[in-house]
Structure 1
Amino acid sequence: MSELIEVKVPDIGDYADVPVIELFVKPGDTIKVEDPIATLESDKATMDVPSTAAGVVREVLVQVGDRVAEGKVLIKVEAAGAENTAAPEAAGNAAAQATPASSGAALEQSEASAPSAASAATASAPTPTPTSAPAATGGSTEVRVPDIGDFSDVPVIELFVKVGDTIKVEDSIATLESDKATMDVPSSAAGVVREVKIKVGDRVSEGAVLIVVDSAAGAATAPAPAATPATARIAAADATPADAPEAFEQSKLSAPAAGQAGAPSAVALGGRVHASPSVRAYGRELGVDLAQVRATGPKGRVVREDVTAFVKGAMQTGIVPGKAAAAGAGVSLGGGLDLLPWPKVDFSKFGEIETKPLSRIKKISGQNLARNWVMIPAVTYHEDADITDLEAFRVAINKENEKSGKKLTMLAFIIKASVRALQQFPEFNTSLDASGGEMSLVYKKYFNIAFAADTPNGLVVPVIKNADRKSVFEIAAESGELAKKARDGKLGPADMSGACFTISSLGGIGGTYFAPIVNAPEVAILGVNKSAMKPIWDGKQFVPRLTLPMSLTADHRVIDGALATRFNVYLAQLLSDFRRVML
């Protein structure tokens, strides 16, 4: 007859109210012994809590954000028979035989004791030996791997120091990772790093030299770790030799609770990636650099779903963020950017210089433009529009309305014509979206047109909302008001959001053609320059016509060359004979 087995938080030493930061199971899941249930995180370490029973999860009694302590029931598992309960019973008996000093032992004991319960009673533990103090030679100090229990050949997954760095006692040197836990190894000496004896991927054991530090006179060095934490771990080893992972957790969790002056400082959670051991293993399995993954978990944590989404995105777009060839790695024709580092130049060697900070606008826009330039496969198409008649009409209307103060601008006409072109070619009023796990195209039924406004601090892009519902006079008035607010620095976020299509006009300055950068998530942008008189052949003779140079940049993933050219030609026709806008 099946029964419900309570899987509880094992002995985690003196820690209480440890938050749950990840859950790996839900009701209905089938799990095995040692499958991870949840990830807990103290202020010093993270750990995966394994299941002590196999079967079907019937209840999950915690959720992300809950705080738990030893003995708290995490899940209830329905086991098919009594054989599934052997693991928790063995773990409980083994923990009962352990000395009270083994505060961190039961955590991994509950995972590892089941496979070797038969041999547990006869296992003998080696005599614990304290980690030797850093060996000093003259002014140099060797910083070694501290006591990590029965673990050996633990891989180095991150390095935080290099030759020449100045470090303090307790600064993180490297991150080690077992199959159940990660920990940062702190420095036991202060000074300048003279040698780094390891590299990422190396496997190290207790006593291995990590770095050599040139200690300044009187620099503080941390005392060697005391034997007490190791004794606690060995006490649990008397119960079963299969509890090797326990020692790794003990090295993280018991140190701050031990309180001895000679104990090493507990390794703090650090590094640039915030992820549990199981997620790190999953990332390595897929070849993913977790530093490039967008974290959605609590406190900026990378969860399993983030890694999966990253891989899907890379497969769909062919772009792997941060995947650049190492210096000297040779020529690459792969999908990475293979960018060289930004050159560092001492300009003062060549003459007098003055350094000024970038304005806030330029800092923000610079980041966006760099992203758009790199990520969007953009192509620019050029076209001339004959605006001779339109300009004559604009001048005449403005003359009629001199007393009222109403004034039409060429930009207002271009905005109105662009709306009509977007209606004719709806692909230009779209955005790419990958939020659902697949790349899709979002068609917008509204028409918000942005225009670039020049200000003393840089370009800003206010937006005219619902331009399809407004007259040319209304668009001219609103664009003038927004341009004034931009120059005065009074534009709000709402004034610069929601655009479907952007127009960048250099008509008041000059130029002929240029290649504007698409403003993501839009798929196209129109650039216009100063109009000029040109001789145009009318079939019989050359006649002077006022032409407007137009430069349309489009995202080639959505808009191909034929469609872009049709859009440009159609827009030129609208501006040549504005009556077409009403059709």
Structure 2
Amino acid sequence: MLEFKLPDVGEGMHEGEISKWLVKEGDQVKQDQPIVEVQTDKVNAELTSPVSGVIKRLLFAEGETAHVGQTLVVIDDGSAIEVAAATAIADPPQTKVAAPIQKGLFDRALASPYIRKLAREWKIDIEKVLGTGTAGRVTEEDLRAFLAKEQAPKKEQLPKEAMPLAPKAFGIQENAQEERIPLKGVRKKIAEHLVKSVSIIPHVTHVDELEMDALKGLRDKWKAAADERGVKLTFLPFFIKALVVALKEFKTLNASIDDSTQEIVLKNYYHIGIATDTKDGLIVPVIKNADKKTIFQLSQEISEKASRAREGKLSLEEITGGTFTISNVGPIGGLYATPIINHPEVAILGLHKMEPRMVVRDWEGVIRLMMHMSLSFDHRLIDGVTAVRFTNRIKQLLENPDLLMMEMV
């Protein structure tokens, strides 16, 4: 027998949510065969079997959270009991596989943390409840049925004020005005990361506006050439290039603070994170060495990584190691916002919608294509004056794209 334990699949993770079982009890598996998908705070990981054998017990149900070092599954490989850490492969397949788990093969009833909490609140011994859910899991309906059965003989003996609440009072009723959804998976990790960021970093946000007519003209000029290469040319690669030029001149914006050693870490590489909206929440693919890539190369990589982020196929390496992040919400809309810094970085640039607006030039009202940008920065390291000079430099390069071309490496 071999006990297959949850490993640390990268960057010191502590726990993972079982998103899919790819096997069921009784299945014959081969060494290195994928058996389970685990959602960590960074990426989906596919874990493979270290041995060939028969799946004897699945100790966690889909949706439950396991901590590093806990046994996920017991595999009968014909040997004495062993302990093995799983191996992980990034970019898991998207095929959904059912995972029935039979209660009775081990002492612990199958139930989510939420169901266990309800059982404790309702003073129910969950080990006595017959689970009717998928894989024999105990559901909220099972708890209600158990409670009703246990209380039924005693109803006439109890005064009205001492009666237990009807089972339906504990759950969501039809047409209920509230719903309760477990905070878990990627959304939970995003929440934890943001709380850490705003708890540690004193945020300040500076807002400015850009005149985009000249840059739009340049983009439109080269759009056909990009189409011939199969590249969708957006404004974002130009912003990355302008950003990198500014970061090289204002080094404290491309840095981090090592709180453990109280050191400022200045970085001479430029890995730009691009915040991407997915069905699971905000994921930040990282464009490595952005200063060494052309506009066309950046366009292609942004498109590919955004697509793979939405499919949940990014590897851990592709979403870590960023030095500065851009959050582009312009296509969605909104005048401006105050983005939260992606800790341990020290700044983030928010890009907002472009629209024609009336502005004053040479004491006359004219219509220009305008856009706001907002820079949130860590005030421990970056002064307001530095932040304004930094955005002024970005603005200068984007409003004068010929100058931007001259500054490119």
- One fold, TM greater than 0.5? yes
Runs of 5+ in structure 2 lacking a partner? Answer: 1-120, 124-169
- Aligned mates of 1:492, 1:465 — CA distance in 2: 14
1:462 to 263, 266, 285: 285
SS of the residue 1:399 aligns to: helix
Runs of 5+ in structure 1 lacking a partner? Answer: 1-163, 167-345
Asked if residue 574 in structure 1 is aligned to residue 397 in structure 2, the reply is: yes
- The offset of 1:535, in angstroms, is 1.7
Q: What are the within-5 Å matches in structure 2 for residues 439-518 of structure 1?
A: 439-518=262-341
- The offset of 1:455, in angstroms, is 0.7
- Aligned mates of 1:443, 1:543 — CA distance in 2: 42
Q: What residue in structure 1 maps to residue 256 of structure 2?
A: 431
Contact 1:359–1:457 under 8 Å retained in 2 = no
- The offset of 1:490, in angstroms, is 0.3
Query: Normalising by structure 2, what TM-score?
Result: 0.56
Q: What residue in structure 2 maps to residue 529 of structure 1?
A: 352
- Aligned mates of 2:203, 2:333 — CA distance in 1: 24
Q: What residue in structure 2 maps to residue 412 of structure 1?
A: 237
Q: What residue in structure 1 maps to residue 189 of structure 2?
A: 364
RMSD: 2.4
Q: What residue in structure 2 maps to residue 271 of structure 1?
A: none
- Aligned mates of 1:352, 1:384 — CA distance in 2: 42
Distance 1:554 1:401, change over 3 A: closer
Structure 1, residues 237-261: CA drift from partner, whole Å, max 9, x if none?
A: xxxxxxxxxxxxxxxxxxxxxxxxx
Contact 2:226–2:233 under 8 Å retained in 1 = no
Structure 1, residues 362-398: CA drift from partner, whole Å, max 9, x if none?
A: 1111100011112210100000011111012112211
1:389 to 214, 222, 234: 214
Q: What are the within-5 Å matches in structure 2 for residues 246-261 of structure 1?
A: none
Asked if residue 376 in structure 1 is aligned to residue 197 in structure 2, the reply is: no
- Aligned mates of 2:321, 2:307 — CA distance in 1: 20
- Aligned mates of 1:578, 1:498 — CA distance in 2: 29
Highest RCO, 1 vs 2 (Cα 8 Å, sep ≥ 6): 2
Q: Percent identity?
A: 40
- Aligned mates of 1:557, 1:447 — CA distance in 2: 21
- The offset of 1:540, in angstroms, is 4.0
- The offset of 1:356, in angstroms, is 2.7
Q: What residue in structure 1 maps to residue 378 of structure 2?
A: 555
User: 2:314 is matched by which residue type in structure 1?
Assistant: L
- The offset of 1:347, in angstroms, is 10
Q: What are the within-5 Å matches in structure 2 for residues 37-436 of structure 1?
A: 351-358=176-183, 360-436=185-261
- Aligned mates of 1:347, 1:376 — CA distance in 2: 39
User: 1:384 is matched by which residue type in structure 2?
Assistant: E
- The offset of 1:457, in angstroms, is 1.3
Asked if residue 519 in structure 1 is aligned to residue 342 in structure 2, the reply is: yes
SS of the residue 2:358 aligns to: strand
- Aligned mates of 2:351, 2:329 — CA distance in 1: 6
- Aligned mates of 1:362, 1:449 — CA distance in 2: 22
SS of the residue 2:227 aligns to: coil
Contact 2:226–2:296 under 8 Å retained in 1 = no
2:387 to 551, 559, 564: 564
Structure 1, residues 400-447: CA drift from partner, whole Å, max 9, x if none?
A: 4433323311111111111111011111011101333xx110110100
Structure 1, residues 147-206: CA drift from partner, whole Å, max 9, x if none?
A: xxxxxxxxxxxxxxxxx9x9xxxxxxxxxxxxxxxxxxxxxxxxxxxxxxxxxxxxxxxx
- The offset of 1:496, in angstroms, is 0.5
- The offset of 1:494, in angstroms, is 0.4
Contact 1:450–1:499 under 8 Å retained in 2 = yes
Aligned residues: 240
- The offset of 1:492, in angstroms, is 1.1
- Aligned mates of 2:393, 2:308 — CA distance in 1: 33
Structure 1, residues 40-71: CA drift from partner, whole Å, max 9, x if none?
A: xxxxxxxxxxxxxxxxxxxxxxxxxxxxxxxx
- The offset of 1:536, in angstroms, is 2.1
Q: Report which of the two structures shows the higher radius of gyration computed on alpha carbons.
A: 1
- Aligned mates of 1:554, 1:510 — CA distance in 2: 22
- The offset of 1:351, in angstroms, is 4.3
Structure 1, residues 69-120: CA drift from partner, whole Å, max 9, x if none?
A: xxxxxxxxxxxxxxxxxxxxxxxxxxxxxxxxxxxxxxxxxxxxxxxxxxxx
User: 2:362 is matched by which residue type in structure 1?
Assistant: G
Distance 1:401 1:448, change over 3 A: closer
Distance 1:405 1:428, change over 3 A: same
SS of the residue 1:417 aligns to: helix
User: 1:362 is matched by which residue type in structure 2?
Assistant: R
User: 1:387 is matched by which residue type in structure 2?
Assistant: M
Query: Normalising by structure 1, what TM-score?
Result: 0.39
